[in-house]
Amino acid sequence: MVSWSTFAASAPELAEAGRRLFYRHEIGEALLATVRDDEPPRINPINVAILGGRLLAFLLPSPKQAALAADRRFALHTFVTAAEADEFVVRGRARVVDDAAERGAAAAAWSFEVDDDALLFEFLVETALLGERPGGAWPPRYSSWKADAG
């Protein structure tokens, strides 16, 4: 798993498409899928940001925060609209960013005021998938990327 900046250096066109789709509505938005051993996946809308070469999100205390803290596996999927049917998804593992300086820098750049009890997560990328549907065409044209196993 790698940081967003490492992914972007390895697959710049795919990363730029992902950035564009996360920020489709000016602020970063995604659907977060989390898993737990014996429970079905949990899917929630969240705000994300790509800051300092990292894909980040602040999550308030909630089942989604608890699920991600307990089992770090995630998928982040962009919203799909009728006007723009392209989609982007990254999968990997999240980590809590607990360094006060890093948290403060992210909070200062965030699109809303960050609560003190929100945890900052960095999403490390293992795989990325872009589905392009020019004019809503079917089937989609897919491009994918996977981090080196080493």
Residue 63: phi and psi, rounded to 5, are -60, -35
- For residue 150, pLDDT beyond 90: no
pLDDT tens digits along 110-125: 988 999 999 999 999 9
Domains and CATH numbers, the chain: 4-146 (2.30.110.10)
The pLDDT value given to residue 81: 79
Token duo for residue 34: 């989390």
d(CA 50, CA 52): 7
CA–CA separation, 137 vs 140, rounded Å? Answer: 7
Residue range 16-53, pLDDT digits in tens: 999 999 999 889 999 999 987 777 888 999 999 999 99
pLDDT at residue 77, rounded to an integer:
97
Cα(29)–Cα(34) distance, rounded to whole angstroms?
16
Say if residues 30 and 45 touch (Cβ distance below 8 Å): yes
* pLDDT reported for residue 25: 86
Instruction: Specify whether the backbone of 72 is left (phi greater than 0), alpha (psi in -120 to 50) or beta.
Output: alpha
Residue 85: CA atoms inside 13 Å, Cβ hemisphere, count? 12
Percent of the chain residues past pLDDT 90, beyond the cut: 77
Residue 28: name the closest of 58, 66, 65, 71 by CA.
58
